[in-house]
Amino acid sequence: AGEEPTARYDVAVLGAGFAGMYMLHTLRQQGWNVHVYETGDDVGGTWYWNRYPGARCDIESLYYSYSFDEEIQQTWEWSEKYAPQPELLQYAGWVADRLDLRRDISFNTTVEHAVWDEDATEWVLETNGGDVIRSRYLVTAVGCLSAARVPDFPGLEHYQGKQYHTSKWPHEGVDFTGQRVAVIGTGSSGIQSIPLIAEQASQLTVFQRTPNFSIPAHNRTLDPAEVARVKADYPSIRAELRLTAGGMIVKNPPTKAALETPEDERRQEFDSRWAEGGLTFLGGFTDTSVDETANAIAAEYVRERIRDIVKDPQTADLLSPKDYPIGAKRLCVDTGYYDTFNRDHVRLVDLRSQPIEEITATGIRAGDEEMEFDAIVFATGFDAMTGPLLKIDIRGVDGVALKDKWAAGPRTYLGVSTAGFPNLFMITGPGSPSVLSNMLVSIEQHVEWISDHLNHLRDHDLQRSEAEVPAEDDWVQHVNDVASVTLMNKAASWYRGANIPGKPRIFMPYVGGVGNYRVHCQKIADSGYQGFVHS
Ligand code: NA7
């Protein structure tokens, strides 16, 4: 810590995705000396990394976009209902140009260590290039799904073919024409990429451990009249979104319970939501996310649709989730996923009956069967929420490592700070709604709340802010309590760390809704930041 720093800032921000970009802009406008460190060679975060075929947002583009700048939201033109990855990346770049963000971002730079220096009331950061940076405040904008994970299949190192992880996709793209391709994993990334990989591959084998519920996207080009209507009404729509549960527009929000609705009417409701498509499929009834019987009715409806689409009954059955409630994992949104399994050159391998024993030099041995592949695509997900933070060696008061403090699961106050780590603020951290919401809504709220907090400190001539343990304990308890009244705890999901062997099983995001969360955070701010010690 005695080393001469390469640079000194008021605020260092880690990550130049939508969160880091807005954090930089906001603080810079408010007169802070702020700098961003980004591993990639440009802005965009999630949309910079996830370049696999079919990568697309599952929130409608008109709402998955910044709302803080009227000119930005009026000027940018979205082409489709659900924006494809290249367009989202282009949007991020365009915003960075307009706001001249890149001049305060160091690209190709990863902060590997962040050590709190109590005497100086500063963070001391060290990058992969060996630069040492001192900053009073540290804001993480590292995302929730950015620590990619390839399971350690035996023999992986011997494989001679090409291998890809969906979130580390080559920038030049991949041509699978004429190749025998394996895709391992059937989460959103698998479900979006499989139909497109099938278009090219001569043979496609999908390795599924757990089937997901997927709802058709019914993606389409946006109708200019609809865009004009939304844009004319943006301020009020955005204000409304901020107070919803998920930061999404739910058409005809639910007024009735599925269990109290006659069967034909219930079916009509599901039919119309299926025809509309997308994440709000479960938005028809008040009880599907809390009542197991109501939930089972919705789940059976989707299984029926799968049986309608997939011609081979055994494949249809394997693709049908049966052992967890619908919605307990984020719904997938697809274009032609189930139908892809009707193609002669596409095969589904069920890992429950035929587990992967080994990756060989030429392919995969599953059960007793040895298969050859020219390429393996790992659509195996992420070490979610805590992974991106714990990749960084963060040490707080008395040198305590964040990974040790969180050994039994993440503990935060409001999802934004953690006791023992003063002047560290997390955007979309564990304990915040983040991954359960429209990320842009969550990001804007966090950025504004954090900057208000920093401005409060500056205005009162204070330099140090730390969450108190009792406030943190209460928040962790509250996050658990609200999760336990839903059915969200009933699936082995990455929300609970269940995809990573040995990771503590704690429900990480806050299910109370972005609206309630926002009101609560505002109350804390208005109280002069109750639960924080300022000095
Ligand atoms: P997900 O949703 O975590 O999906 C990962 C998939 O990989 C899932 O089907 C997993 O099966 C499978 N997986 C993980 N580990 C293994 C092993 N060891 N063997 C076989 N299969 C495995 O990640 P995505 O990238 O698809 O999507 C992440 C989020 O991005 C998504 O929720 C949206 O919010 C956007 P499992 O279910 O664990 O049995």
Is residue 5 pLDDT above 90, yes or no? no
Helix spans in 261-395 (H): 263-276, 292-309, 313-319, 337-340, 387-390
Is residue 252 pLDDT above 90, yes or no? no
Residue 3 confidence class, pLDDT cut points 50, 70, 90:
low
**Pairing status of strand 346-350 against strand 332-334:** unpaired
Q: Which residue has the tokens 């008061």?
A: 397
Which pLDDT score, from 0 to 100, does residue 247 have? 95
Which pLDDT score, from 0 to 100, does residue 4 have? 79
Q: How far is the CA of 188 from the centre of ligand 1 (A)?
A: 7
Is any ligand 1 atom within 6 A of the Cβ of residue 189? yes
Q: How far is the CA of 288 from the centre of ligand 1 (A)?
A: 23
Question: Can you spell out the DSSP letters for 57-104?
Answer: -SS-TTTSS--S-HHHHHH----BSS-BHHHHHHHHHHHHHHTT-GGG
- Ligand 1 atom closest to residue 499's alpha carbon, by position in its atom list: 38
Q: How far is the CA of 187 from the centre of ligand 1 (A)?
A: 4
Instruction: For a ligand 1 pocket test, name from 58, 64, 380 the mutation site with the most ligand atoms within 8 angstroms of its C-beta.
Output: 380
Residue 349 bridge partners (DSSP): 207
Is any ligand 1 atom within 6 A of the Cβ of residue 184? yes
Q: How far is CA 56 from the centre of its chain?
A: 13
Is any ligand 1 atom within 6 A of the Cβ of residue 494? yes
pTM of the model: 0.97
- Ligand 1 atom closest to residue 380's alpha carbon, by position in its atom list: 7
305-321 tens-digit pLDDT: 999 999 999 999 999 99
Is any ligand 1 atom within 6 A of the Cβ of residue 380? yes
Residue 253 confidence class, pLDDT cut points 50, 70, 90:
confident
Is residue 39 pLDDT above 80, yes or no? yes
- The mean pLDDT value for 456-470 works out to 98
Supply the residue whose CA is at minimum distance from atom 31 of ligand 1: 188
**C-alpha to C-alpha distances, 483 to 3, 396, 438, 479, 493, nearest whole angstrom:** 45, 29, 18, 6, 13
- AA letter at 291: D
Q: How far is the CA of 208 from the centre of ligand 1 (A)?
A: 9
Which pLDDT score, from 0 to 100, does residue 2 have? 53
Share of the chain above pLDDT 90, in %: 97
Cα–Cα distance for residue pair 282/303, rounded to 1 Å: 14
150-192 tens-digit pLDDT: 999 999 999 999 999 999 999 999 999 999 999 999 999 999 9
- Ligand 1 atom closest to residue 378's alpha carbon, by position in its atom list: 7
- The mean pLDDT value for 462-470 works out to 98
Q: How far is CA 92 from the centre of its chain?
A: 17
Residue 470 confidence class, pLDDT cut points 50, 70, 90:
very high
